[in-house]
Structure 1
Amino acid sequence: KNLNLNEKIDDKINTLSGGMKQRVMLAAALINDPKILILDEPTAGLDPIKRIEMCNLISSYAPDTIVIFATHVVSDVEVIAHSFLFLDNGKLILTGSREEVTGKMDGKVKELNISTELYKRLKDSLKVVSVHYEKSDLIVRVVDDEDKLSGKIMIPDIADVYISIFGNRT
């Protein structure tokens, strides 16, 4: 598969853009046609378009290679991964297919329509996945492990699983 590096063949690595450096590192990892490819934060520092391109490139190798993709950017692997492993301080705490890991969250992911003032008071006690406005309404997606909140029940995704496990660590 082509990594489109030919035009930069004579350039020094330190002069390349972040996306090009990531492609060079991927090319180096692929030189001997590995059966297992381990990538640590391969999309770090990339803009959204370059992140998508890198994820698509990596996923193109998946049919012939086991790809282990370590990342904190859940959206990078959410649609391309077949299996998920969640590690906490080097300890495996959850593993399974998308359906297996998100199935544990059924009924626990809720969307709340609340005031900004109420959000400010509650945010530290909530496992917040996302916050956004729709017109003038504040919409907060949360993991409600204890089923204490009333809100619209949502279909869980990998980000919800991540927040359920790790909370909103800073």
Structure 2
Amino acid sequence: MKYYDTADEVLQRAATISLLLLDVDGVLTNGQLYYGEHGEVMKAFNTLDGQGIKLLQQNGIRVGIISGRKSAALSLRAAALGITLIAQGREDKAVALDELLQDHPCPLDRIAYIGDDLPDLLVMRHIGLPIAVPNAHDSVHHCAALCTTRAGGDGAVRDVADFLLRAQGKYEDALRAFL
């Protein structure tokens, strides 16, 4: 992980996170869209990210999605991972955040968000731990407290999952079931 704020400050914030919100295109995926001949859109999701999401959920950290694009593939992936906190097709992500928090309250300073492009800034400016992926737009890097080692679609969410679990002292227990 690359720190934009001091490591101590980032670790202190990470220790209090109870909700991780994710952008999709460029974070859960590599940002590429594949169009079929009948107009269907396909996306590839990384299984490392899926396992990281499950580890977070099993250790008391909720996971949600805010996406500017509506996608059947995303609906299927979210359902497979048990993610029910989801807003799709929402260009104004700040409004989407407010709506999600009405039904699932969480203090803003206890939210982490991973983003990669300009629409994500609408959320990142208001939450406790804004995180960028390496291939994010420069403005996103300037807003972020932290940058993942792995790129979007290549395990960036898993980087954050492991980081949050370590910061909260839950990482070793989370792995114990697999050892």
TM-score w.r.t. structure 1 length? 0.29
Structure with more helix by fraction: 2
TM-score by length of 2: 0.27
The structure with higher relative contact order (CA 8 Å, sep 6+) is 2
**Rg larger in structure:** 1
Structure with the higher strand share, 1 or 2:
1
